[in-house]
Amino acid sequence: MAMAIPSQPTKFGIITVTPAGTRQTIIHTVANWMWLPMILMGIMAVGTSVGLGIAQAKVGSDLGDQFTALRQANFETLKPLTAGFLFLGEALLLSGISFLLATILGALRWGGAEVQESVGAPVKTLKMPWSAWVFLGLMMTGLMAALVAFGTLAFVSAQAHSAWIGASAAGTPGNVAALDRAAAYAAWANPLREAALGALLTGIVFALYTISNVVGFQFSRIRELILGREEGAS
Amino acid sequence: MATGTLVLNQPTLRYVETEKPLGRNLAQTMGHYLWGPMALMGLMLVGTAFALAIARSQLSVDLSEEFTPLRKANFETLGQLIPGFMFLGFAFIFSGISFAIARILGVFRTGGGLVQEAAGKGIKTPVMPITAWIFLGGMMMAMMVLVFAFAGHVYAAVQAHDAWINATGPSGADAASLGRAETWGTWLEGLRRVGVGMYLASIAFGLATIIQVIRFQTLRIKELAEQTPTVA
Protein backbone atom coordinates (compact mmCIF):
# COMPACT_ATOMS: atom_id res chain seq x y z
CA MET A 1 0.00 0.00 0.00
CA ALA A 2 1.38 3.38 -1.00
CA MET A 3 2.03 5.75 1.90
CA ALA A 4 0.61 9.27 1.55
CA ILE A 5 3.28 11.97 1.76
CA PRO A 6 2.07 14.87 3.88
CA SER A 7 2.21 18.24 2.17
CA GLN A 8 1.56 21.78 3.41
CA PRO A 9 1.40 25.24 1.85
CA THR A 10 4.04 27.84 2.75
CA LYS A 11 4.79 31.33 1.45
CA PHE A 12 7.40 29.72 -0.82
CA GLY A 13 4.99 27.14 -2.30
CA ILE A 14 3.69 23.70 -1.34
CA ILE A 15 6.18 21.53 0.52
CA THR A 16 6.30 17.80 1.16
CA VAL A 17 7.47 16.36 4.47
CA THR A 18 9.26 13.01 4.40
CA PRO A 19 11.28 11.15 7.05
CA ALA A 20 14.23 10.54 4.71
CA GLY A 21 16.00 12.44 1.93
CA THR A 22 14.37 13.30 -1.39
CA ARG A 23 15.94 12.16 -4.63
CA GLN A 24 16.39 14.40 -7.65
CA THR A 25 13.55 14.46 -10.16
CA ILE A 26 13.86 13.10 -13.69
CA ILE A 27 14.26 16.67 -14.97
CA HIS A 28 17.25 17.28 -12.68
CA THR A 29 18.80 13.99 -13.80
CA VAL A 30 18.33 14.86 -17.47
CA ALA A 31 19.85 18.30 -16.80
CA ASN A 32 22.87 16.73 -15.05
CA TRP A 33 23.62 14.72 -18.17
CA MET A 34 22.60 17.17 -20.90
CA TRP A 35 24.15 20.53 -20.07
CA LEU A 36 27.63 19.68 -21.36
CA PRO A 37 26.53 17.98 -24.64
CA MET A 38 24.26 20.96 -25.36
CA ILE A 39 27.06 23.46 -24.83
CA LEU A 40 29.50 21.38 -26.91
CA MET A 41 26.96 21.06 -29.76
CA GLY A 42 26.32 24.80 -29.52
CA ILE A 43 30.02 25.58 -29.83
CA MET A 44 30.30 23.22 -32.82
CA ALA A 45 27.30 24.84 -34.56
CA VAL A 46 28.69 28.35 -33.99
CA GLY A 47 32.11 27.14 -35.24
CA THR A 48 30.44 25.68 -38.36
CA SER A 49 28.76 29.03 -38.94
CA VAL A 50 32.12 30.82 -38.75
CA GLY A 51 33.54 28.31 -41.28
CA LEU A 52 30.60 28.85 -43.63
CA GLY A 53 30.97 32.63 -43.23
CA ILE A 54 34.62 32.43 -44.31
CA ALA A 55 33.62 30.27 -47.30
CA GLN A 56 30.91 32.78 -48.21
CA ALA A 57 33.42 35.62 -48.08
CA LYS A 58 35.75 33.71 -50.45
CA VAL A 59 32.91 32.94 -52.89
CA GLY A 60 31.85 36.61 -52.70
CA SER A 61 35.41 37.66 -53.57
CA ASP A 62 35.50 35.23 -56.54
CA LEU A 63 32.12 36.54 -57.65
CA GLY A 64 33.54 40.06 -57.68
CA ASP A 65 36.29 38.86 -60.04
CA GLN A 66 33.99 37.02 -62.44
CA PHE A 67 30.30 36.11 -62.43
CA THR A 68 29.35 32.47 -62.87
CA ALA A 69 25.96 30.96 -62.06
CA LEU A 70 27.58 28.37 -59.78
CA ARG A 71 29.41 31.02 -57.73
CA GLN A 72 26.26 33.12 -57.38
CA ALA A 73 24.23 30.02 -56.40
CA ASN A 74 26.81 29.01 -53.80
CA PHE A 75 26.97 32.55 -52.40
CA GLU A 76 23.18 32.75 -52.04
CA THR A 77 23.04 29.23 -50.56
CA LEU A 78 25.66 29.94 -47.92
CA LYS A 79 23.97 33.14 -46.69
CA PRO A 80 20.91 31.53 -44.98
CA LEU A 81 22.94 28.48 -43.94
CA THR A 82 25.47 30.65 -42.08
CA ALA A 83 22.67 32.45 -40.21
CA GLY A 84 20.88 29.15 -39.53
CA PHE A 85 23.92 27.47 -37.98
CA LEU A 86 24.79 30.59 -35.95
CA PHE A 87 21.36 30.86 -34.35
CA LEU A 88 21.06 27.09 -33.88
CA GLY A 89 24.38 27.26 -32.01
CA GLU A 90 23.19 30.16 -29.86
CA ALA A 91 19.95 28.31 -29.08
CA LEU A 92 21.91 25.21 -28.06
CA LEU A 93 24.21 27.31 -25.85
CA LEU A 94 21.20 28.93 -24.13
CA SER A 95 19.66 25.47 -23.68
CA GLY A 96 22.93 24.35 -22.08
CA ILE A 97 22.72 27.32 -19.68
CA SER A 98 19.08 26.39 -18.93
CA PHE A 99 20.09 22.82 -18.14
CA LEU A 100 22.86 24.17 -15.89
CA LEU A 101 20.28 26.22 -13.96
CA ALA A 102 18.16 23.06 -13.61
CA THR A 103 21.30 21.32 -12.29
CA ILE A 104 21.66 24.06 -9.66
CA LEU A 105 18.02 23.53 -8.64
CA GLY A 106 18.67 19.78 -8.37
CA ALA A 107 21.76 20.39 -6.22
CA LEU A 108 19.78 22.71 -3.91
CA ARG A 109 17.03 20.08 -3.56
CA TRP A 110 19.45 17.24 -2.87
CA GLY A 111 21.78 19.27 -0.63
CA GLY A 112 18.90 20.76 1.38
CA ALA A 113 17.49 17.30 2.05
CA GLU A 114 20.94 15.99 3.05
CA VAL A 115 21.41 18.78 5.60
CA GLN A 116 17.96 18.22 7.16
CA GLU A 117 18.50 14.46 7.27
CA SER A 118 21.94 14.84 8.89
CA VAL A 119 20.49 16.74 11.88
CA GLY A 120 17.72 14.15 12.27
CA ALA A 121 14.89 16.50 11.31
CA PRO A 122 11.98 15.65 9.01
CA VAL A 123 12.94 16.48 5.45
CA LYS A 124 10.89 19.33 3.97
CA THR A 125 11.16 19.77 0.22
CA LEU A 126 9.43 22.25 -2.10
CA LYS A 127 7.16 20.67 -4.69
CA MET A 128 8.05 21.66 -8.25
CA PRO A 129 6.66 25.23 -8.41
CA TRP A 130 4.69 26.79 -11.29
CA SER A 131 7.68 28.89 -12.28
CA ALA A 132 9.73 25.74 -12.89
CA TRP A 133 7.03 24.40 -15.22
CA VAL A 134 6.98 27.74 -17.11
CA PHE A 135 10.78 27.56 -17.34
CA LEU A 136 10.62 24.06 -18.83
CA GLY A 137 7.82 24.99 -21.23
CA LEU A 138 9.63 28.08 -22.52
CA MET A 139 12.91 26.21 -22.86
CA MET A 140 11.33 23.42 -24.91
CA THR A 141 9.32 25.89 -27.01
CA GLY A 142 12.44 27.94 -27.69
CA LEU A 143 14.53 24.93 -28.66
CA MET A 144 11.81 23.56 -30.95
CA ALA A 145 11.31 26.98 -32.58
CA ALA A 146 15.07 27.23 -33.14
CA LEU A 147 15.07 23.80 -34.83
CA VAL A 148 12.09 24.80 -37.03
CA ALA A 149 13.86 28.04 -37.96
CA PHE A 150 17.02 26.09 -38.83
CA GLY A 151 15.04 23.64 -41.00
CA THR A 152 13.29 26.55 -42.74
CA LEU A 153 16.57 28.32 -43.41
CA ALA A 154 17.95 25.08 -44.89
CA PHE A 155 14.89 25.08 -47.20
CA VAL A 156 15.52 28.76 -48.03
CA SER A 157 19.10 27.91 -48.91
CA ALA A 158 17.95 25.07 -51.24
CA GLN A 159 15.48 27.45 -52.93
CA ALA A 160 18.16 30.12 -53.31
CA HIS A 161 20.43 27.54 -54.97
CA SER A 162 17.66 26.54 -57.41
CA ALA A 163 17.00 30.20 -58.15
CA TRP A 164 20.57 31.08 -59.09
CA ILE A 165 22.12 27.90 -60.54
CA GLY A 166 20.56 28.60 -63.96
CA ALA A 167 21.27 32.36 -63.90
CA SER A 168 22.44 33.92 -67.17
CA ALA A 169 23.85 37.14 -65.66
CA ALA A 170 24.30 38.95 -62.33
CA GLY A 171 20.93 40.10 -60.99
CA THR A 172 19.00 37.80 -63.34
CA PRO A 173 18.01 34.60 -61.52
CA GLY A 174 17.26 31.47 -63.54
CA ASN A 175 14.21 30.56 -61.47
CA VAL A 176 12.26 33.59 -60.24
CA ALA A 177 9.59 31.49 -58.49
CA ALA A 178 12.26 29.81 -56.33
CA LEU A 179 13.77 33.20 -55.50
CA ASP A 180 10.36 34.52 -54.40
CA ARG A 181 9.81 31.41 -52.26
CA ALA A 182 13.22 31.90 -50.64
CA ALA A 183 12.43 35.57 -49.91
CA ALA A 184 9.00 34.78 -48.45
CA TYR A 185 10.29 32.01 -46.15
CA ALA A 186 13.37 34.01 -45.09
CA ALA A 187 11.08 36.94 -44.16
CA TRP A 188 9.61 34.98 -41.24
CA ALA A 189 12.33 32.38 -40.58
CA ASN A 190 14.87 35.01 -39.54
CA PRO A 191 12.59 36.62 -36.92
CA LEU A 192 11.52 33.13 -35.79
CA ARG A 193 15.09 32.26 -34.80
CA GLU A 194 15.27 35.48 -32.76
CA ALA A 195 11.88 34.75 -31.16
CA ALA A 196 13.27 31.32 -30.23
CA LEU A 197 16.16 32.99 -28.42
CA GLY A 198 13.63 35.27 -26.71
CA ALA A 199 11.68 32.26 -25.42
CA LEU A 200 14.88 30.60 -24.16
CA LEU A 201 15.98 33.80 -22.38
CA THR A 202 12.55 34.26 -20.79
CA GLY A 203 12.79 30.65 -19.57
CA ILE A 204 16.10 31.58 -17.91
CA VAL A 205 14.34 34.47 -16.09
CA PHE A 206 11.82 31.99 -14.64
CA ALA A 207 14.62 29.59 -13.69
CA LEU A 208 16.38 32.37 -11.76
CA TYR A 209 13.12 33.25 -10.00
CA THR A 210 12.73 29.58 -9.04
CA ILE A 211 16.27 29.53 -7.65
CA SER A 212 15.55 32.64 -5.55
CA ASN A 213 12.42 30.99 -4.19
CA VAL A 214 14.23 27.76 -3.32
CA VAL A 215 17.08 29.64 -1.63
CA GLY A 216 14.52 31.65 0.36
CA PHE A 217 12.82 28.44 1.46
CA GLN A 218 16.12 26.93 2.55
CA PHE A 219 17.01 29.98 4.65
CA SER A 220 13.61 29.68 6.29
CA ARG A 221 14.15 25.95 6.95
CA ILE A 222 17.60 26.52 8.47
CA ARG A 223 16.06 29.16 10.76
CA GLU A 224 13.39 26.63 11.77
CA LEU A 225 16.07 24.04 12.58
CA ILE A 226 18.03 26.53 14.70
CA LEU A 227 14.97 27.81 16.58
CA GLY A 228 13.35 24.37 16.83
CA ARG A 229 9.93 25.63 15.74
CA GLU A 230 7.96 25.83 12.50
CA GLU A 231 7.83 29.22 10.78
CA GLY A 232 7.22 28.89 7.06
CA ALA A 233 3.44 28.28 7.04
CA SER A 234 1.50 30.77 4.95
CA MET B 1 25.83 49.95 13.46
CA ALA B 2 29.40 48.58 13.47
CA THR B 3 31.51 47.86 10.39
CA GLY B 4 34.32 45.37 9.75
CA THR B 5 35.88 43.03 7.18
CA LEU B 6 35.94 39.28 6.68
CA VAL B 7 38.74 37.67 4.65
CA LEU B 8 38.38 34.45 2.66
CA ASN B 9 41.12 33.80 0.12
CA GLN B 10 41.29 37.58 -0.50
CA PRO B 11 39.99 40.10 -1.34
CA THR B 12 38.45 41.41 1.87
CA LEU B 13 34.68 41.71 2.18
CA ARG B 14 33.37 44.75 4.03
CA TYR B 15 30.28 44.29 6.14
CA VAL B 16 27.97 46.08 8.56
CA GLU B 17 26.98 44.57 11.90
CA THR B 18 23.45 45.16 13.16
CA GLU B 19 21.16 43.81 15.88
CA LYS B 20 18.20 43.28 13.55
CA PRO B 21 18.28 41.69 10.05
CA LEU B 22 18.45 44.20 7.21
CA GLY B 23 15.63 44.23 4.66
CA ARG B 24 15.99 44.39 0.90
CA ASN B 25 17.59 47.55 -0.54
CA LEU B 26 15.87 49.59 -3.29
CA ALA B 27 17.37 47.67 -6.23
CA GLN B 28 16.50 44.33 -4.63
CA THR B 29 12.94 45.49 -3.92
CA MET B 30 12.56 46.52 -7.56
CA GLY B 31 13.94 43.14 -8.60
CA HIS B 32 11.51 41.40 -6.26
CA TYR B 33 8.48 42.93 -7.96
CA LEU B 34 9.60 43.72 -11.51
CA TRP B 35 11.26 40.51 -12.74
CA GLY B 36 7.94 39.02 -13.93
CA PRO B 37 6.40 42.08 -15.63
CA MET B 38 9.67 42.78 -17.44
CA ALA B 39 9.99 39.20 -18.71
CA LEU B 40 6.36 39.08 -19.84
CA MET B 41 6.55 42.44 -21.63
CA GLY B 42 9.72 41.24 -23.34
CA LEU B 43 8.06 38.04 -24.49
CA MET B 44 5.08 40.02 -25.82
CA LEU B 45 7.35 42.38 -27.77
CA VAL B 46 9.25 39.44 -29.28
CA GLY B 47 5.87 37.91 -30.22
CA THR B 48 4.83 41.22 -31.80
CA ALA B 49 8.01 41.26 -33.87
CA PHE B 50 7.33 37.72 -35.05
CA ALA B 51 3.73 38.60 -35.99
CA LEU B 52 5.03 41.58 -37.98
CA ALA B 53 7.46 39.19 -39.70
CA ILE B 54 4.59 36.95 -40.81
CA ALA B 55 2.80 40.02 -42.22
CA ARG B 56 6.01 41.02 -44.02
CA SER B 57 6.32 37.52 -45.46
CA GLN B 58 2.81 37.85 -46.92
CA LEU B 59 3.74 41.27 -48.35
CA SER B 60 6.80 39.63 -49.95
CA VAL B 61 4.51 37.11 -51.69
CA ASP B 62 2.15 39.91 -52.82
CA LEU B 63 5.07 41.95 -54.11
CA SER B 64 6.38 39.04 -56.16
CA GLU B 65 2.94 38.84 -57.83
CA GLU B 66 2.57 42.57 -58.53
CA PHE B 67 4.57 45.65 -57.55
CA THR B 68 2.63 48.52 -55.99
CA PRO B 69 4.22 51.46 -54.12
CA LEU B 70 2.03 50.81 -51.09
CA ARG B 71 3.08 47.17 -50.81
CA LYS B 72 6.74 48.06 -51.21
CA ALA B 73 6.43 50.91 -48.67
CA ASN B 74 4.78 48.60 -46.14
CA PHE B 75 7.36 45.87 -46.79
CA GLU B 76 10.29 48.23 -46.19
CA THR B 77 8.61 49.87 -43.18
CA LEU B 78 8.14 46.50 -41.50
CA GLY B 79 11.75 45.63 -42.34
CA GLN B 80 12.80 48.44 -39.97
CA LEU B 81 10.15 47.89 -37.32
CA ILE B 82 10.75 44.14 -36.87
CA PRO B 83 14.35 44.41 -35.53
CA GLY B 84 13.26 47.40 -33.44
CA PHE B 85 10.51 45.47 -31.67
CA MET B 86 12.62 42.31 -31.45
CA PHE B 87 15.52 44.00 -29.69
CA LEU B 88 13.26 46.11 -27.47
CA GLY B 89 11.80 42.75 -26.41
CA PHE B 90 15.31 41.44 -25.74
CA ALA B 91 15.98 44.57 -23.65
CA PHE B 92 12.98 43.79 -21.43
CA ILE B 93 13.90 40.09 -21.18
CA PHE B 94 17.46 40.97 -20.19
CA SER B 95 15.99 43.37 -17.63
CA GLY B 96 13.94 40.45 -16.34
CA ILE B 97 17.14 38.41 -15.95
CA SER B 98 18.87 41.32 -14.19
CA PHE B 99 15.94 41.86 -11.82
CA ALA B 100 15.77 38.11 -11.10
CA ILE B 101 19.48 38.25 -10.14
CA ALA B 102 18.75 41.28 -7.91
CA ARG B 103 15.90 39.25 -6.36
CA ILE B 104 18.31 36.39 -5.59
CA LEU B 105 20.68 38.88 -3.95
CA GLY B 106 17.76 40.21 -1.88
CA VAL B 107 16.92 36.69 -0.72
CA PHE B 108 20.53 36.16 0.34
CA ARG B 109 20.54 39.46 2.24
CA THR B 110 17.25 38.94 4.12
CA GLY B 111 17.60 35.17 4.55
CA GLY B 112 21.19 35.41 5.76
CA GLY B 113 20.14 38.03 8.29
CA LEU B 114 17.22 35.93 9.58
CA VAL B 115 19.42 32.85 10.03
CA GLN B 116 22.05 34.86 11.93
CA GLU B 117 19.32 36.38 14.09
CA ALA B 118 18.13 32.86 14.96
CA ALA B 119 21.69 31.88 15.86
CA GLY B 120 21.83 34.89 18.22
CA LYS B 121 25.46 35.85 17.52
CA GLY B 122 24.99 39.24 15.84
CA ILE B 123 24.06 39.94 12.24
CA LYS B 124 26.73 40.70 9.65
CA THR B 125 25.62 41.84 6.18
CA PRO B 126 28.06 42.56 3.35
CA VAL B 127 28.21 46.14 2.05
CA MET B 128 27.06 46.46 -1.58
CA PRO B 129 30.27 45.59 -3.50
CA ILE B 130 31.65 47.40 -6.55
CA THR B 131 30.46 44.57 -8.82
CA ALA B 132 26.86 45.28 -7.78
CA TRP B 133 27.22 48.97 -8.68
CA ILE B 134 28.69 48.05 -12.09
CA PHE B 135 25.83 45.56 -12.55
CA LEU B 136 23.23 48.26 -11.89
CA GLY B 137 24.92 50.98 -13.96
CA GLY B 138 25.59 48.65 -16.91
CA MET B 139 22.02 47.40 -16.90
CA MET B 140 20.56 50.92 -16.97
CA MET B 141 22.90 52.08 -19.73
CA ALA B 142 22.15 48.99 -21.83
CA MET B 143 18.41 49.59 -21.44
CA MET B 144 18.82 53.20 -22.59
CA VAL B 145 20.91 52.13 -25.61
CA LEU B 146 18.28 49.59 -26.72
CA VAL B 147 15.36 51.99 -26.19
CA PHE B 148 17.23 54.59 -28.27
CA ALA B 149 17.84 51.93 -30.96
CA PHE B 150 14.09 51.23 -31.01
CA ALA B 151 13.32 54.93 -31.48
CA GLY B 152 15.92 55.04 -34.26
CA HIS B 153 14.25 52.12 -36.02
CA VAL B 154 10.89 53.92 -35.86
CA TYR B 155 12.55 56.93 -37.53
CA ALA B 156 14.15 54.68 -40.17
CA ALA B 157 10.77 53.00 -40.76
CA VAL B 158 9.16 56.40 -41.42
CA GLN B 159 11.97 57.26 -43.86
CA ALA B 160 11.60 53.91 -45.65
CA HIS B 161 7.87 54.50 -46.00
CA ASP B 162 8.43 57.98 -47.42
CA ALA B 163 11.00 56.60 -49.84
CA TRP B 164 8.66 54.06 -51.43
CA ILE B 165 5.11 55.36 -51.05
CA ASN B 166 5.31 57.46 -54.24
CA ALA B 167 7.68 55.16 -56.14
CA THR B 168 7.07 54.82 -59.87
CA GLY B 169 8.59 51.32 -60.07
CA PRO B 170 10.79 48.77 -58.24
CA SER B 171 13.79 51.11 -58.63
CA GLY B 172 11.99 54.44 -58.40
CA ALA B 173 12.35 55.21 -54.69
CA ASP B 174 13.05 58.68 -53.31
CA ALA B 175 16.83 58.55 -53.05
CA ALA B 176 17.21 60.94 -50.10
CA SER B 177 14.71 59.14 -47.83
CA LEU B 178 15.98 55.73 -48.90
CA GLY B 179 19.54 56.77 -48.12
CA ARG B 180 18.55 58.01 -44.64
CA ALA B 181 16.63 54.80 -43.92
CA GLU B 182 19.56 52.62 -45.00
CA THR B 183 22.14 54.68 -43.12
CA TRP B 184 20.15 54.57 -39.90
CA GLY B 185 19.38 50.86 -40.35
CA THR B 186 23.06 50.06 -40.81
CA TRP B 187 24.44 51.82 -37.73
CA LEU B 188 21.48 50.87 -35.55
CA GLU B 189 22.34 47.21 -36.16
CA GLY B 190 25.71 47.84 -34.55
CA LEU B 191 24.11 49.83 -31.73
CA ARG B 192 21.72 46.94 -30.96
CA ARG B 193 24.66 44.56 -30.64
CA VAL B 194 26.41 47.02 -28.32
CA GLY B 195 23.28 47.17 -26.14
CA VAL B 196 23.01 43.40 -25.91
CA GLY B 197 26.73 43.15 -25.16
CA MET B 198 26.39 45.69 -22.33
CA TYR B 199 23.46 43.75 -20.88
CA LEU B 200 25.39 40.47 -20.96
CA ALA B 201 28.43 42.10 -19.35
CA SER B 202 26.30 43.63 -16.57
CA ILE B 203 24.62 40.24 -15.96
CA ALA B 204 28.11 38.76 -15.56
CA PHE B 205 28.80 41.37 -12.85
CA GLY B 206 25.49 40.45 -11.19
CA LEU B 207 26.58 36.81 -11.07
CA ALA B 208 29.97 37.88 -9.72
CA THR B 209 28.11 39.67 -6.90
CA ILE B 210 26.21 36.46 -6.06
CA ILE B 211 29.55 34.64 -5.85
CA GLN B 212 30.86 37.26 -3.41
CA VAL B 213 27.74 37.00 -1.25
CA ILE B 214 27.93 33.19 -1.13
CA ARG B 215 31.62 33.45 -0.19
CA PHE B 216 30.74 35.91 2.59
CA GLN B 217 27.98 33.65 3.93
CA THR B 218 30.25 30.58 3.85
CA LEU B 219 32.78 32.46 5.95
CA ARG B 220 30.08 33.69 8.32
CA ILE B 221 28.75 30.14 8.86
CA LYS B 222 32.30 29.02 9.67
CA GLU B 223 32.65 31.90 12.12
CA LEU B 224 29.35 31.03 13.82
CA ALA B 225 30.34 27.35 14.07
CA GLU B 226 33.65 28.33 15.72
CA GLN B 227 31.81 30.51 18.28
CA THR B 228 29.42 27.68 19.22
CA PRO B 229 30.79 25.38 21.97
CA THR B 230 30.88 21.74 20.86
CA VAL B 231 29.52 18.93 23.06
CA ALA B 232 32.30 16.53 24.11
Q: From CA B43, how far away is CA B160, in angstroms rounded?
A: 27
Inform me whether the pLDDT recorded for A80 exceeds 90. yes
Q: From CA A58, how far away is CA A53, in angstroms rounded?
A: 9
Identify any residues that bridge with A34 across adjacent strands, giving them in sequence order: none
Residue pLDDT, tens place only, A81-129: 999 999 999 999 999 999 999 999 998 888 888 888 888 888 888 888 8
Interface check B114 vs A, CB under 8 A: yes
Q: From CA B218, how far away is CA B64, in angstroms rounded?
A: 65
**Chain B residues close to A98, C-beta within 8 Å:** none
The confidence score (pLDDT) of residue B172 equals 84
Q: Is residue A7 part of a domain?
A: no
Q: Is residue B85 part of a domain?
A: yes
Q: How far is A70 from chain B (nearest CA, A)?
A: 24
Residue in B205, B32, B18, B31 with CA at minimum distance from that of residue B129? B205
The confidence score (pLDDT) of residue A167 equals 87
Residue pLDDT, tens place only, B28-74: 999 999 999 999 999 999 999 999 999 998 998 899 889 999 999 99
Q: Is residue B184 part of a domain?
A: yes
Residue B93 and residue A215: Cβ atoms within 8 Å?
no
Residue in A119, A91, A123 with CA at minimum distance from that of residue A110? A123
The confidence score (pLDDT) of residue B4 equals 66
Considering only CB atoms, B115 lies closest to which of A192, A199, A223, namely: A223
Phi, psi of B6 (to 5 degrees): -115, 145
Q: Is residue B232 part of a domain?
A: no
Q: How far is A189 from chain B (nearest CA, A)?
A: 8
Inform me whether the pLDDT recorded for B157 exceeds 50. yes
Domain total in chain B: 1
pTM for this predicted structure: 0.87
Full 3-state SS string of B107-150: HHHHHHHHHHHHHCCCEEEECCCHHHHHHHHHHHHHHHHHHHHH
Q: How far is A225 from chain B (nearest CA, A)?
A: 9
The confidence score (pLDDT) of residue A111 equals 87
Range of the domain at B84: 2-227
Residue B53 and residue A183: Cβ atoms within 8 Å?
no
Inform me whether the pLDDT recorded for B10 exceeds 60. no
Interface check B228 vs A, CB under 8 A: no
Domain total in chain A: 1
Q: From CA A225, how far away is CA A127, in angstroms rounded?
A: 20
Q: Which amino acid does the sequence have at A147?
A: L
Inform me whether the pLDDT recorded for A195 exceeds 60. yes
Q: Is residue B205 part of a domain?
A: yes
What residue of A is the nearest CA neighbor of B52?
A: A188
Residue pLDDT, tens place only, B124-148: 999 999 999 999 999 999 999 999 9
What residue of A is the nearest CA neighbor of B56?
A: A187
Inform me whether the pLDDT recorded for A234 exceeds 70. no
Range of the domain at A145: 25-122+130-227
Q: Which amino acid does the sequence have at A57?
A: A
Considering only CB atoms, B111 lies closest to which of A180, A215, A227, namely: A215
Q: Is residue B198 part of a domain?
A: yes
The confidence score (pLDDT) of residue A1 equals 45
Interface confidence, given as ipTM, is 0.86
The confidence score (pLDDT) of residue A26 equals 85
Cβ pair B123, B20 in contact under 8 A? yes
Considering only CB atoms, A227 lies closest to which of B60, B111, B118, namely: B118
